[in-house]
Amino acid sequence: MLSNDADILALTETWLGTSIDKQVISEITPNGYSIHQISRKGKTGGGVAVIHKSNIEIKRSKHAQTFTHFELLECDVVVKSQHFRLCVIYRPPPSRTNKLKNSTFFEEWSEFLDRLVVIPNELLITGDLNFHLDNVNASDTRKFNETLLDHGLVQHVQDQHTIRVTHLMSL
């Protein structure tokens, strides 16, 4: 983060617990930066965070919702005179253990987007949704892309951007 002089860093799967002490948070937050984070409720793993330069005004949205099938950190960002809404999302992959279903995710996802697209500021959604978006023939990929189009949104990440990644899963 420091070597690239990043202004804002969005993180998923932070694994920061709700009882994490302030020392650990200060250790992962460089001098001159601030952090906003949301831990997974009642379980280990997951979690989302934003680390940003302290001179950038970022506030957690007062209107953020809670969803059962994805974790969300929704922030209002002001950089100079530019205002935008930043949403960091983590969606755990469905499994028998967590009992998450794609159909319920898409219902919540549409509800979330319905609310967001009427906000007058620019919008940036980022995160890990655990879809193989490079597999354009997969029904979930088609449904996801249709949902974006229905809300006038564009998927900007078009390639595998991490050496270890074998599929495009990020938004």
Enumerate the β-bridge partners of residue 67: none
**Residue 35 corresponds to which amino acid?**
I
pLDDT in single tens digits along all 171 residues of the chain: 788 889 999 999 988 875 666 677 788 899 999 999 998 887 888 899 999 999 999 999 988 899 999 999 999 999 988 999 999 999 999 999 999 999 999 999 999 999 999 988 899 999 999 988 888 899 999 999 999 999 999 887 766 554 444 444 445
Q: In what order do the strands lie in the sheet with 8-12?
A: 8-12, 48-53, 33-38
Helix 139-150, helix 102-116: angle, nearest 10: 20
DSSP string, 35-51: EEEEPPSSSSS--EEEE
Structure tokens at 30: 């460089």
Structure tokens at 146: 């249709």
Q: How are the residues of the chain apportioned to helix, strand and coil, as percentages rounded to the nearest 5? A: 20, 25, 55
- Give the 3-state secondary structure of residue 17: coil
| Spatial CB neighbours of 40, under 8 Å, sequence gap ≥ 6 | 46, 47, 71
Question: Taking the chain, what is the end-to-end CA distance rounded to the nearest angstrom?
Answer: 20
- The number of CA neighbours under 13 Å toward the Cβ of 27 is 6
Check if the beta carbon of residue 54 is closer than 8 Å to that of residue 33.
yes
